[in-house]
Amino acid sequence: MKVVELDFPEVKLITPQVFQDNRGFFQESFNYKRMKEHGLDFQFVQDNHSFSVEKGTIRALHFQTHPMQQSKLVRVVKGSVLDVVVDIRKESKNFGRFITVELSDQNHHQILIPKGFAHGFCTLEANCHVIYKVDEYYSPTHNQGIIWNDPTINILWPTKNPVLSKQDEKWPTLREVIK
């Protein structure tokens, strides 16, 4: 397993070892002991699976508020996405900035997003399956989001006409939600 710090040092890009042969491939997608050896000690409690039919589907920018904040370990098992992480820690020098990483079934990359960041993605092809682990249970009363096209964040999404949920169309801006 290879672990790389991204522009936000708290966010990690993880590439598991992949064993390929004539049958296909095998990989350990998660190993607590190996993660802990890299200083990544997260107790995941829930797995989520997102399926997006259309290319250009945006699911963003989600997070949960205190005390139900979530860390996430995200990977793509079919297709490819542009994964987006926004720093929403008000005291951070990176507050309001974002980073992007392409995750796909071909590159096997995973992204580890700790508490204090909003997360979203845009599908780069049809029929994408995204799986992610979280270290806190889903809580509807703590569920929050930021509008996908917030002009102060200015994410360069790979689509001009995204497929969005009704909820994702109505989130407030970062400045409205983090005061």
DSSP string, 78-140: ESEEEEEEEE--TTSTTTT-EEEEEEETTT--EEEE-TTEEEEEEESSSSEEEEEEESS---T
Is residue 73 helix, strand or coil?
strand
pLDDT value at 178 more than 90? no
pLDDT, residue 166, reads 97
Q: If you average pLDDT over residues 149-159, what whole number do you get? A: 97
For 162, phi then psi, to 5°, come to -70, 155
Whole-number Å distance between alpha carbons of 71 and 102: 19
pLDDT value at 179 more than 90? no
Is residue 1 helix, strand or coil?
coil
Give 53 or 178, the one with higher predicted confidence.
53
- Choosing from 32, 62, 66, 137, which is the catalytic residue? 62
Q: For residue 132, indicate whether it is catalytic.
A: yes
Q: What is the share, in percent, of the chain residues with pLDDT greater than 90?
A: 98
pLDDT, residue 173, reads 97
Residue whose tokens read 């290879």: 2
For 130, phi then psi, to 5°, come to -115, 130
Q: For residue 32, indicate whether it is catalytic.
A: no
Domains and CATH numbers, the chain: 2-177 (2.60.120.10)
- Choosing from 108, 132, 137, 142, which is the catalytic residue? 132
pLDDT, the chain, mean: 96
Distance in angstroms between the alpha carbons of the first and the last residue of the chain = 39
For residue range 96-148, list pLDDT tens digits in order.
999 999 999 999 999 999 999 999 999 999 999 999 999 999 999 999 999 99
pTM: 0.95
Q: If you average pLDDT over residues 140-166, what whole number do you get? A: 97
